[in-house]
Amino acid sequence: MSNEIVKFVNCRLVRNHELIKEDLWIRNGKIINPEPVFFDEKLQAHRQIDCGNSIIAPGYIELQINGGHGVDFSHDVDTVANGIEKVAKELLKNGVTSFCPTIVTSPPDTYRKILPQVTGKTKGAQVLGLHLEGPFISPLKKGAHPEDCIKDIDKGIDSLMDTYSNLNNVKIITIAPEKDPSGSVTKTLTHMGITVSLGHSVANLSQGELAVQSGARLITHLFNAMLPFHHRDPGLVGLLASNNIPAGQEIYFGIIADGIHTHPAALRIAHRTDPNGLILVSDAIAALGLGDGKHHLGQLELEVREGKAYIAGTDTLCGSIAPLDTCVRIFKKATNCSTVYAIECATLHPARCLNMAETKGTLNFGADADFIILTDELFVQSTWIKGECVHQCKPEEWAALSSRPIEQLCECN
């Protein structure tokens, strides 16, 4: 990283919830304010890059991804570090600059082998920490999680430590709130700086509210693996409109906008009910970037048939094969939201959820220079980390993609 000042010109920045015509200045891997550089330091940019009127946005932040490109983070235990490195590099093509590798419900020995191997250092997208999705979930909403590995919280936080061994590299833990009825474990994890997410649950609204009052601030893949909305007890979905949560506390919720897991009407309901809490996630599996065939998701074998992933031999969906940038485009079309809002659902909102919005998810002065250059159709032209270009798409590649109707990417219209 050099002291060189680079100025990006002829661009539109996603800043302050708007697209503004302004230059972007970078130095030492950070976004800088040009005024003191010019007036106080009497310096000009050493290099200038013409962006051709493209959009510059913060890099996408992926909070739930199980693997990709043949790698399953929960299955390839002995080589998980190499697998994360491979996926981290591939994600750059989709504009992802930081992510939380997700480990599904697994035996204790799997966690003990995986957790020590995970660090934030890769040659691709930055690892923010692991998302442990289970095993403290409901067997009634297990989805693609193996029931024989699901556990109860019968010894408080010690139940988690006995299972995971340590939590040093953990950023998010998904828990069914009915497994922590007093909220004590949620409080402990929150005090440790770990984001507690609610999911794979049969909890009613009151149980969800108690979890939020105890510190939970995220819902895992809204609508999926939870009780359906009911007018007399809306369950976890009701948290989006609850008036029984701490004042000023935002409830964030991941949502899979791959055109398969969540109907466009459901996307619109979530968007209109709580726009500030919506976070786009891919929930991608090992088949991301590949075609139909057999793969793994943790302990279970899965198969991809006609672009949809199922537990092998069943019709149970088990993750997505759509990358996050595709989810952004599908979501924008489904909701008719603004370009800036669609981008913020994969940048600013996840950064705020993880309390990282000072450095990630924005183009504000002082933030990390992790950003992407996009076409108006939200196709990734290039990806930058710490002010260095780490991926550049050939124009013919995104031109070919942009000519493809979004309906071809979306089952539900």
Task: List the catalytic residues.
Answer: 283
DSSP class per residue in 333-392:
HHHT--HHHHHHTTTHHHHHHTT-TTTSS---TTSB--EEEE-TT--EEEEEETTEEEEE
Degrees (nearest 5) of the Cα angle 282, 146, 73?
A: 45
Torsional sign, CA 311, 315, 318, 323: positive
DSSP helix/strand/coil, 126: strand
Reference 100, options 324, 392, 364, 338; nearest CA is 324
Phi, then psi, of 199 in degrees rounded to 5 = -175, 175
Cross-strand pairs, 236: none
Are 89 and 380 within 8 A, CB to CB? no
User: How is residue 220 written in tokens?
Assistant: 């895992």
Indicate the annotated binding residues: 133, 144, 200, 221, 224-225, 232, 261, 317-319
Distances in Å between the Cα of 71 and the Cα atoms of 60, 185, 289 are 20, 31, 10
Indicate the annotated binding residues for Zn(2+): 133, 200, 221
Indicate the annotated binding residues for substrate: 144, 224-225, 232, 261, 317-319
